[in-house]
Amino acid sequence: MKKAALITGASSGIGAATAIEFAKNGYFVYLMGRNKERLQEVALKCRSGASIMSCDMTDTNALDKRLNEMLTTKIHRIEVVVNNAGIFDRHSTEEGTDDIWQKEFEVNLLGPVRITRAFFPYFKSQGGGQIVNVSSTLGLRPQGPTSAYSAVKAAMVNWTASLAMEGGPFKIRANCVCPGIVDTPIHGFHSLDTEKKNEALEGMKNLQPLGRIGTPDDIAKAIYFLGSDNSSWITGAILPVDGGINLL
């Protein structure tokens, strides 16, 4: 039975790069996201095979349906869940409405909780599995007006530790990657024209000791490491992949 991985937020950025990285290493990948056309584009780059699971993670009925489709299939052995899907809003506590906080919580934490909760019995029954959560360096060290996002990402870091304790006896590993500033659509500078984007990137160089912001591939390689057998004796790890930004 072919090994498989579920990647959420797989239509672009870190999620797309992660799906391609797992596929390069022989995994069949389940691509979950809202944009079906972009998921199809990613699927074409996954040479080990891919299945598109188009849904909004805040739609619990649609999510339950997609999860049931995966969990009842006998074609692949799903070994890895990567909780990557997320949104980013830049608001202070004073500016952040209940709707903003609720949306951050629903997408960035409750969605991953629902997926992981569904997979725990599956992983137990097959003798183990890997969960990789994608948090943020803002969950470790908040910067500026990002109250809701930082708080929810910090909760994900703490939740990962709980998962590692709960899953350990069943050979279910749980680890967390905390990206720094990465060139993905979640950031406004990503879609600027070439000249303005290069100016923005130049201005961010000195924020990291390594002198550049990250790429989706930088994060994907770390996620793959924690989701693969290369990290078979690692659980509960919180791994910043940030060019050293948290050192400054």
Active-site residue list: 149
Phi-psi region of 241 (alpha: psi -120 to 50; beta: other; left: phi over 0): beta
C-alpha closest to that of 178 among 246, 240, 248, 245: 240
In whole angstroms, give the CA distance from residue 139 to residue 131. 18
CA pseudo-torsion sign 208, 195, 87, 96: positive
Say how far residue 121 (Cα) sits from the centre of its chain. 21
What's the CA gap between 235 and 131, in Å, rounded? Answer: 9
